C-alpha cells in the first residue's frame, strides 16, 4: 500500500519560510526523538523516522525544495529515480509504486528497524546563558558553573577568556547532547551576559565610563583626585583641570576593557558637580563674597559670561 502523502514542512514542524539552519535543527531534534533505537517498543517509530528522513532530504536540498514548493506532492513528476548500486539485491522486497519507492529508498539507505543500529547522528548543541561580572569578563579566568541538566545539577569547570563581551559564545566541545550510535556528542555553547555593574557601564566596544563626583571648587580651581578602576576602588590619581564643567568627560587611556587580540580600551569619567548639602556660616560668607565679586552670569545667552 502506498504511503499517504504528508506535507514535508508539517513533518518537520517548520514554516514554509524556514531557513536551512532551522530545518536542520528541527530534523535533528525529531530524528533523535523518533529514532527506532530510542523507541524499541513503539511500532510506529520506524515509519515516523523514515518520514522525517524523506522530508529532510527534500527540504535540505535547495533544488529539490524549490521543485517541491512549486509542485507539492507531484514534485517528483518527470524525474527518474535511480537507486544506488546493489540496492535491489539488498532489498528484494521493495515495491515500485511512485510514492512507495522514494520512501523505501530512504528505508534502504538508513536501514529502518533492521539496520537502525548502523545509523549514527551527532548530538545536538546545548545553548546556556551565563552571567559574568564586568571584572570577570574583563579579566577572564577559571570558573565553576552549575548547570541544570536532565538528571539534576551538573558542575563544570570552564576557562573564561579575558576580554569577553556581552554576547560572546564560549564553545565546550563534546559537552552537549550525546550522539546516536557512533555519532559524536554535540557542544555546549555558553552565551555571555554581563551583569549590571555598580560603578561602570560599557561604552562602545572596549571603553567603560563612570560618574565622578566633584566639589564646585575642585571643578573651578582644579584638583588631583583618586578615581575607581576595574582593578580597584581608588587605584589611579587623575588631574581635574581648572574650569571643568558638569558633564565633561575626562579620559584615562588604557584603563578600559581587555581586548581579545591584546591591548585595552579607555576609561571615561563624567564629571558631576555636587554642592554641599549644608553650609557652615563661614562657607556661606565665602559664597556671598564670591557672588559679590564675580561677574559670571550662568544664564547669559552667550558663552563666556565674564565681561
What pLDDT score was predicted for residue 48? 84
Whether pLDDT at 88 is above 50: no
282-301: per-residue pLDDT in tens?
A: 999 999 999 999 888 888 85
Whether pLDDT at 180 is above 90: no
Whether pLDDT at 78 is above 70: no
Q: How far apart are CA 73 and CA 55, in angstroms?
A: 12
Answer whether 266's CB lies under 8 Å from 252's CB. yes
Pairing of strands 188-194, 152-160: unpaired
Whether pLDDT at 98 is above 70: no
What pLDDT score was predicted for residue 106? 40
Query: What grid cell was written down for 84?
Result: 544506488
* Percent of the chain at pLDDT exceeding 90: 34
**3-state class of 29 per DSSP?**
helix
Average pLDDT, the chain: 80
Whether pLDDT at 246 is above 70: yes
> Based on the number of CB atoms within 10 Å of its own CB, is 126 exposed (0-12), middle (13-18) or buried (19 or more)?
middle
Q: How far apart are CA 272 and CA 73, in angstroms?
A: 70
Q: How far apart are CA 250 and CA 236, in angstroms?
A: 13
* Percent of the chain at pLDDT exceeding 70: 78
Buried b (16+ CB within 10 A) or exposed e, 137-161: bbbbeeeeeeeeeeeeeeeeeeebe
Amino acid at each position: 500500500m502506498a504511503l499517504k502523502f504528508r506535507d514535508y514542512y508539517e513533518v518537520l514542524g517548520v514554516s514554509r519560510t524556514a531557513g536551512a539552519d532551522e530545518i536542520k535543527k528541527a530534523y535533528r531534534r525529531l530524528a533523535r526523538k523518533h529514532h527506532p533505537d530510542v523507541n524499541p517498543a513503539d511500532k510506529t517509530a520506524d515509519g515516523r523516522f523514515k518520514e522525517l528522513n524523506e522530508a529532510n532530504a527534500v527540504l535540505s536540498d535547495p533544488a529539490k525544495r524549490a521543485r517541491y514548493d512549486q509542485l507539492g506532492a507531484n514534485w517528483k513528476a518527470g524525474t527518474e529515480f535511480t537507486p544506488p548500486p546493489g540496492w535491489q539485491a539488498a532489498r528484494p522486497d521493495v515495491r515500485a509504486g511512485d510514492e512507495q519507492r522514494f520512501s523505501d529508498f530512504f528505508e534502504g539507505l538508513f536501514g529502518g528497524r533492521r539496520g537502525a543500529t548502523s545509523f549514527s547522528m551527532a548530538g545536538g548543541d546545548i545553548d546556556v546563558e551565563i552571567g559574568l561580572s564586568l571584572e570577570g569578563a574583563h579579566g577572564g579566568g577559571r570558573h565553576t558553573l552549575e548547570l541544570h541538566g536532565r538528571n539534576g545539577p551538573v558542575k563544570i569547570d570552564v576557562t573564561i577568556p579575558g576580554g569577553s563581551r556581552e554576547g560572546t559564545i564560549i564553545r565546550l566541545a563534546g559537552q552537549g547532547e550525546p550522539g546516536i550510535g557512533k555519532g559524536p556528542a554535540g557542544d555546549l555553547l555558553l552565551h555571555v551576559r554581563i551583569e549590571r555593574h555598580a560603578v561602570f557601564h560599557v561604552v562602545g566596544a572596549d571603553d567603560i565610563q563612570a560618574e565622578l563626583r566633584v566639589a564646585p571648587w575642585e571643578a573651578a580651581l582644579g584638583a588631583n583626585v583618586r578615581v575607581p578602576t576595574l582593578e580597584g576602588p581608588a587605584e589611579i590619581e587623575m588631574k581635574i583641570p581648572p574650569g571643568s564643567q558638569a558633564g565633561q568627560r575626562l579620559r584615562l587611556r588604557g584603563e578600559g576593557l581587555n581586548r581579545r587580540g591584546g591591548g585595552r580600551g579607555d576609561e571615561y569619567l563624567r564629571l558631576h558637580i555636587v554642592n554641599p548639602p549644608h553650609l557652615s556660616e563661614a562657607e556661606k560668607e565665602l559664597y556671598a563674597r564670591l557672588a559679590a565679586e564675580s561677574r559670571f552670569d550662568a544664564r547669559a545667552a552667550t558663552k563666556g559670561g565674564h565681561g
